[in-house]
Amino acid sequence: MPTKRKGKQTIKIDSPISIISTASIVGPKEGQGPLGLYYDLIIEDEMWGEKSWEKAESKLMKETVSKIINKSGKTVDDVNYVLAGDLLNQCIATSFAVRDSGVSLFGLYGACSTMAESASLGAMLINGGFADNIICITSSHFCSAEKQFRFPLELGSQRPPTAQWTVTGSGGVMLSNQGIGPYITYVTTGKVVDMGIKDSNNMGAAMAPAAADTIVTHFKDTGLSPSDYDLIVTGDLGSFGKELCEELVSRQGYDIKNVYSDCGMMVYDSAKQDTHSGGSGCGCSAVTLAGYLYQEMKKGKFNNVLFVGTGALLSSTSAQQGESIPCIAHGISIQNKFE
């Protein structure tokens, strides 16, 4: 077995892979949430001067990529790869966002787990000596996601309590073999978990088993425990999914409740903003990582974070055909000190 592997699904990153810059741009609703001060830019409206929601989403990612590069002290020529994806069919937000950059692209689809997936693959590419600097980024948009996956906004459909609000935003990081941290130290790659849930308005419950599986697998593979982390954060399970995930992990003998949070519950104010179960979308965990988590790690509030991106791998086609919702979760350990 290769020496970098730990257990069944985890890779130990054995050279310093640093997050040297981040950026996040969000919509007005997100900017009014509890994390508003952590974002680089809050746009005034969801169209952002474009002719469609899809074009606006692509602009979100394009401008976020630009900010990541500018804040890194690097040039676009220093970037070896962009690893990116989104929720739109054929990941069109991504391809149009980077088409003029001249940087090699790996287009990814992990649904809302794409931020963790891209960072996982980026860390492994650099650790393997295949790159020096990689941008890992994703995006989502409330209006484009509703249009594709649910109902036309004009229909004014009533949302059940378990429904989540797709974040309008783009967030990303630049990984490098240089820098002073925070560092990615472990990568735990998820596997598809499908418990037969078919309700696309209850994705938190659908994704929770996948999140729990990855968290427990991470502990088993590495020998680490919840007490080794200041924060364990899932991507976007929302209030219903978070509670279920916590219970499922507890059944496996790990108590995470004192260090566990969820990006879907952090990005909005549930008491003041009508987002029901919380936030979702590729942008949910991405803007939280690029904004709040990264900045608070740089300040020393958090020194060890387990970031677990969660994704519901459904499509409008599979939903219409009565299929259940396959889900996945990818985990990365982020630490201020490399050991």
Q: What is the pLDDT of residue 3?
A: 81
C-alpha–C-alpha distance, residues 15 and 183, integer Å: 9
Q: What token pair was written down for 321? A: 């055909």
**Overall average pLDDT of the 140-163 stretch:** 65
Q: What is the pLDDT of residue 157?
A: 62
Contact 326, 198 (CB under 8 A): no
Q: What is the pLDDT of residue 158?
A: 62
Look at residue 189 and give its three-state secondary structure.
coil
pLDDT band at 41 (very low <50, low <70, confident <90, very high): very high
Q: What is the pLDDT of residue 280?
A: 85
**Overall average pLDDT of the 276-297 stretch:** 92
Q: What are phi and psi of 328, to 5 degrees?
A: -150, 155
Contact 54, 329 (CB under 8 A): no
Chain mean pLDDT for the chain: 92
The β-bridge relationship of strands 5-6 and 133-140 is unpaired
**Overall average pLDDT of the 50-56 stretch:** 92
Question: For the ranges 149-163, 240-254, 302-316, which has the lowest average pLDDT?
Answer: 149-163
Contacts of 324 (CB under 8 A, 6+ apart): 194, 195, 196, 197, 198
User: Each residue of 217-233: pLDDT tens digit?
Assistant: 999 999 999 999 999 99
The answer on pLDDT for 318 being more than 90 is no
Rg (CA), the chain: 18
Chain centroid offset of residue 88 CA:
15
**Overall average pLDDT of the 270-299 stretch:** 91
Q: What is the pLDDT of residue 160?
A: 58
**Overall average pLDDT of the 232-238 stretch:** 95
C-alpha–C-alpha distance, residues 16 and 27, integer Å: 34
Contacts of 49 (CB under 8 A, 6+ apart): 56, 59
Q: What secondary structure does DSSP assign to 265-310, as a single string? A: HHSS-TTTS--TT-EESHHHHHHHIIIIIHHHHHHTS-SEEEEEEE
Q: What token pair was written down for 304? A: 């060890």
**Overall average pLDDT of the 50-54 stretch:** 92
Q: How far is CA 202 from CA 128, 164, 197, 208, in A?
A: 39, 8, 8, 10
Q: What is the pLDDT of residue 174?
A: 98
Buried b (16+ CB within 10 A) or exposed e, 45-72: ebebeeeebbbbbbbbbbbbbebbbeeb
pLDDT band at 146 (very low <50, low <70, confident <90, very high): confident
Q: What is the pLDDT of residue 176?
A: 98
DSSP state letter for 136: E
C-alpha–C-alpha distance, residues 235 and 267, integer Å: 11
Domains of the chain, start order = 1-339 (3.40.47.40)
Any idea how long the chain is?
A: 339
Q: How far is CA 90 from CA 85, 106, 242, 314, in A?
A: 9, 13, 29, 14
The pTM of this model reads: 0.94
C-alpha–C-alpha distance, residues 105 and 238, integer Å: 31
Residue of 292, 280, 289 lying closest to 332 (CA atoms):
289
The sign of the CA dihedral 301, 303, 304, 309 is positive
Residue of 198, 204, 169, 195 lying closest to 276 (CA atoms):
204
Residue of 202, 39, 201, 66 lying closest to 135 (CA atoms):
66
pLDDT band at 152 (very low <50, low <70, confident <90, very high): low
Residue type, position 306, single letter:
L
pLDDT band at 317 (very low <50, low <70, confident <90, very high): confident
Q: What are phi and psi of 182, to 5 degrees?
A: -60, 155
**Overall average pLDDT of the 205-212 stretch:** 95
C-alpha–C-alpha distance, residues 102 and 77, integer Å: 8
